[in-house]
């Protein structure tokens, strides 16, 4: 009896090494699970976490510029001396100056205004021309005299009066006034006279 050789069987397939368990995410539209790769370990850095000494800190300049004394709440208000004997006009002037970011120092006559002027320098003074004890003309002359004696810069003296006569205006300028504003005046007119002195223009 002749025996035929048996057919050779293929070698068994190698067994797949099982992967370590990890997070499993199911891809939408597929039934096969998709395993996320393992998370990498912590990164190593060579940078020092110690902040630089204060001497090496870089100064940062603000882009907002210098504070505006009329808009910045922390900035001191511009003090403006006012000599006016009428209480109603005092309130109107005080409100107008407050809107411009200034503080009104109210006095009832020229003598009171002059006493304060000698103790404290002011860049702007508003003087009524018709006042008891000392009128605006005499007050302006004495302020110019004290201004020169104390070596101060020239103060802006503004006459406030209901007298619109040219003679009164000329007399006010001769006594040392810089500007002449007739009552009733508009808020914009007073602001136009005061702003150049406030901004240093």
Q: How far apart are CA 147 and CA 122, in angstroms?
A: 10
Mean pLDDT of 171-187: 94
Confidence (pTM): 0.62
pLDDT tens digits for range 68-77: 444 445 456 7
Indicate the helix (H) or strand (E) that contains 125: strand 124-128
Residue, of 31 and 189, whose pLDDT is higher: 189
Check whether 53 has a pLDDT greater than 90: no
Mean pLDDT of 88-94: 95
Mean pLDDT of 127-141: 96
pLDDT at residue number 198? 75
Q: How far apart are CA 73 and CA 67, in angstroms?
A: 9
Sign of CA dihedral 108, 109, 113, 116: negative
**Residue 13 burial class via C-beta count within 10 angstroms: exposed 0-12, middle 13-18, buried 19 and up:** exposed
Average per-residue pLDDT for the chain: 77
Check whether 54 has a pLDDT greater than 50: no
Q: Identify whether the C-beta of residue 77 lies closer than 8 Å to the C-beta of residue 124.
A: no
Mean pLDDT of 120-129: 96
């Amino acid at each position: 009896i002749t025996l035929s050789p048996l057919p050779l069987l293929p070698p068994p397939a190698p067994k797949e090494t099982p992967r370590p368990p990890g997070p499993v995410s199911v891809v939408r539209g597929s039934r096969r699970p998709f395993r996320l790769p393992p998370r990498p370990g912590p990164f190593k850095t060579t940078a020092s976490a110690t902040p630089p000494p204060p001497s090496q800190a870089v100064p940062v300049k603000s882009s907002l510029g210098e504070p505006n004394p009329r808009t910045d709440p922390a900035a001191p208000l511009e003090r403006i001396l006012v000599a006016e004997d009428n209480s109603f006009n005092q309130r109107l002037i005080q409100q107008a100056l407050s809107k411009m970011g200034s503080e009104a120092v109210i006095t009832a006559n020229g003598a009171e205004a002059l006493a304060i002027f000698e103790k404290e320098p002011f860049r702007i003074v508003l003087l009524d021309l018709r006042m008891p004890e000392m009128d605006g003309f005499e007050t302006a002359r004495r302020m110019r005299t004290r201004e020169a004696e104390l070596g101060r810069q020239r103060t802006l003296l503004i006459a406030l009066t209901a007298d619109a006569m040219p003679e009164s205006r000329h007399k006010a300028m001769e006594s040392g006034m810089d500007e002449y504003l007739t009552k009733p005046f508009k808020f914009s007119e007073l602001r136009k006279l005061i702003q150049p002195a406030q901004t240093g223009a």
